[in-house]
A and B are shown apart, each in its own frame.
Chain A
Amino acid sequence: MSPRNDAIGVVDYGMGNLRSVGKALESLGFDVKVTSDASVLDGCRGLVLPGVGAFRDCMENLRKGGLLPFLSDYLSQGRPFLGICLGLQLLFSESEEFGRHEGIGFLSGKVVRFPAGMTEPRQGGGERRLKIPHMGWNRIDVTMDHPVFDGIETGSSFYFVHSYYVVPDDPAVVAARSSYGIDFTAAVGLGNRLAVQFHPEKSQSAGLRLLSNFGRLSREAG
């Protein structure tokens, strides 16, 4: 049993900008520990798995850091968890990004790329090609009554940057949807766990609201 602390743990596995999510939670008054030490993370009240970069590299870094068994255990215990971007995709069984790669496999389903050649009607006629990555602010439809979405209405906009999206086998885990050429899963939820494709730490007030909800959930349930 790890020593308990009152912080929210941010899993540091050497990928991307981890500073923002930690700073955002701190600005909301929460204690944060950004670390790769599984025993410290295990003692936290809630866990954030951020992620920027390539799926394969992230899995490789988690494996090298010895974090995979810890993450699987943590997720199976139903404790407060927030996955962000790649931290959503990594929960699934496999990804087709640069070949086929196994994920953590907490949820069954896969991670696929937006199809090439998607278009939308161009103003004034004709078609406009949709660019990949899907980069920028898009609205979400909240489809699950989840405590971390408290006060966040359908139609709220969040900042996305991704070329791949998740396709869960079980539609019941879908917590929010969005649309970019096609409809895709923007969040999955299961009990105290939520994972989102967008970046709450980059989504101004709506994102801070979501992080604040997660911090509160962690205090209460973690």
Chain B
Amino acid sequence: MLARRIIPCLDVAGGRVVKGVKFLDLKDAGDPVEVARRYDLEEADELVFLDITASHEHRGTIIDVVSRTAEQVFMPLTVGGGVRTVDDIRALLKAGADKVSINTAAVFRPEFVREAAERFGSQCTVVAIDARAVPGTPGRWEVYTHGGRKATGIDAVEWAARMEASGAGEILLTSMDRDGTRDGYDIPLTRAISDRVGIPVIASGGVGNLEHLADGLTAGGADAVLAASIFHYGEYTVAQARDFLRDRGIPVRPKTTAR
């Protein structure tokens, strides 16, 4: 049976992990490569690097981070943030990324997703959706761009279906209402999109404890759960998360025996 995935997310700016990472036994907690190695040892199922570098001139640094990580860490690597052109994607894949996540650029020019999928394959074309509940209208969510600052008027569930039809291979779904709250994923949103599309959905935004991960996978119907702070601050290891989910009867990857 296919295991549900546990995916730590690293926010990277100027070549460093930001938002603070507090692994005690790391020499340099801000080096994304070292953090990636730590998650590799913990047998995280995948890693996501989110490039939050504000200016385009610093794009080269994320390429360098991906390239250095891919030399040492042999697990699936997704890179998102500021991906606007086919050349951006090519450069990231060449550096060693396996998947590239497209967000704002998909809203501005939806054909970009189809171009990416045709050129590089759906398997490496992830569409990131930042969604916020529409006040006073239960069961409706709106797509936001620019890191959740700009409303688009687009219905998030319809948008997910449209992105699937355009060739997206996976949806990375973040609730902007829950992001940073530690109140748990937006379960109705996650469930609505997971039920609507036939491609895998990664739940994101709001994780504060391991129960939230289980909720995202069961009630939310997600195929994978993404989390940042609960792992970065050392509250839980990926192994603890996996054991917790297994105890709940959720299919997770067994610990590797081959060494």
Which residues of A pack against B, CB within 8 Å? 16-17, 19-20, 23-24, 27, 52-54, 116, 120, 123-124, 128-139, 151-153, 155-157, 159-163, 179-180, 199, 201-209
Contacts and interface: CB of A to CB of B under 8 A. Distances in A.
A131 B74 contact: no
A-B residue pairs, 6 tightest by C-beta = A137-B253, A53-B121, A209-B258, A206-B258, A137-B3, A161-B123
A123 B249 contact: yes
A24 B200 CA distance: 27
Interface string B218-259: 100101100000000000000000000000011001101111
Contact of A202 (B3, B74, B200, B249): B74
Interface of B: 1-5, 40, 43, 45, 70-72, 74-76, 93-98, 120-124, 169-170, 197-201, 218, 221, 223-224, 249-250, 253-254, 256-259
Contacts of A116: 198
A156 B198 contact: no
B71 A136 contact: no
A24 B72 CA distance: 8
B95 to A, nearest CB: 7
A52 B5 CA distance: 21
Contact of A159 (B72, B75, B199): B75
Contact of A131 (B43, B98, B198): B198
B56 to A, nearest CB: 24
Nearest to B199: A131
Nearest to A123: B218
11 contacts: A16-B124, A17-B94, A19-B70, A19-B94, A23-B96, A54-B121, A133-B122, A136-B5, A137-B3, A139-B1, A156-B257
A16 B93 contact: yes
Nearest to A200: B74
B96 A16 contact: no
B132 to A, nearest CB: 25
Contact of A133 (B169, B218, B249, B257): B169
Given A134-B2, A137-B45, A23 B71 contact: yes
Given A136-B223, A139-B254, A120 B169 contact: no
Given A23-B71, A155-B254, A202-B75, 5 more contacts: A19-B94, A120-B1, A137-B5, A138-B1, A203-B75
Nearest to B97: A17
A156 B124 contact: no
B170 A135 contact: yes
Given A16-B93, A135-B123, A204 B3 contact: no
Contacts of B250: 123
A183 B259 CA distance: 27
Contacts of B221: 128
A137 B213 CA distance: 18
A137 B258 contact: no
A179 B71 CA distance: 31
Contact of B200 (A135, A201, A209): A135
A16 B98 CA distance: 8
A206 B253 CA distance: 12
Contacts of A205: 256, 258-259
A19 B37 CA distance: 18
A193 to B, nearest CB: 21
A128 B251 CA distance: 13
Given A131-B199, A156-B256, A17 B98 contact: yes
A16 B121 CA distance: 9
Contacts of B94: 17, 19
A135 B98 CA distance: 12
Contacts of A162: 123
B74 A132 contact: no
Contact of A52 (B43, B74, B123): B123
Given A136-B223, A157-B3, A23 B170 contact: no
A27 B72 contact: yes
Contact of A204 (B75, B121, B124): B75
A165 to B, nearest CB: 13
A130 B122 CA distance: 17
B198 A132 contact: yes
Give the interface centre of A130, A161, A202, A204 by most chain B CB atoms within 10 Å: A204
